[in-house]
Amino acid sequence: MSSSADFWHRLEGTFLYYYYRLVMATARFEVEGLDNLAQVQASGRPIIWGLWHGINMPYMLYAASHFPPESFSVVMVGDERGDILGQLAAWLGGEVIGIDMKGNPVESGRKLLNVIKRL
């Protein structure tokens, strides 16, 4: 990836962070099912969230507001979308693990297994 693309991905991720700050200062979130979440947290077991494309950023906003940022990792596609959200996660203190199933799926599988082992 070119340094120009890296720059734009960092810029877009930084923009998302400031957009997050604006949204969190002006919006109200309504979350259902928190009693189920409380039960899982009380059990002491790790929580694995399964999310589909467009929900990643809203989840990161929710997670950054309700959990210690260092306690969450987001596994997502290893392309420019992951680069941009990775920049947002860095601003929030979390971690994005890019999984590129086109380039080297074996390496990506190992990354995913390492995330699971850390749990």
DSSP collapsed to 3 states, 40-58? HHHHCCCCCCCCCHHHHHH
Domain regions of the chain by residue span: 3-118
Q: Are 78 and 100 in contact (CB under 8 A)?
A: yes
User: How high is the pLDDT of residue 18?
Assistant: 92
User: How high is the pLDDT of residue 1?
Assistant: 58
Q: Is the dihedral of CA 81, 87, 93, 95 positive or negative?
A: positive
Looking at the chain, the whole-number percentage of residues with pLDDT higher than 70 is: 97
Distance, in Å, from the CA atom of 39 to the CA atom of 99, rounded to the nearest integer, reads 30
The reported pTM is: 0.65
User: How far, in Å, are 38, 40, 69, 119 from residue 32 at the CA level?
Assistant: 12, 15, 21, 25
Nearest Cα to Cα of residue 69 among 57, 60, 56: 60
Q: What is the pLDDT of residues 41-55, one digit of tens each?
A: 899 887 777 777 677
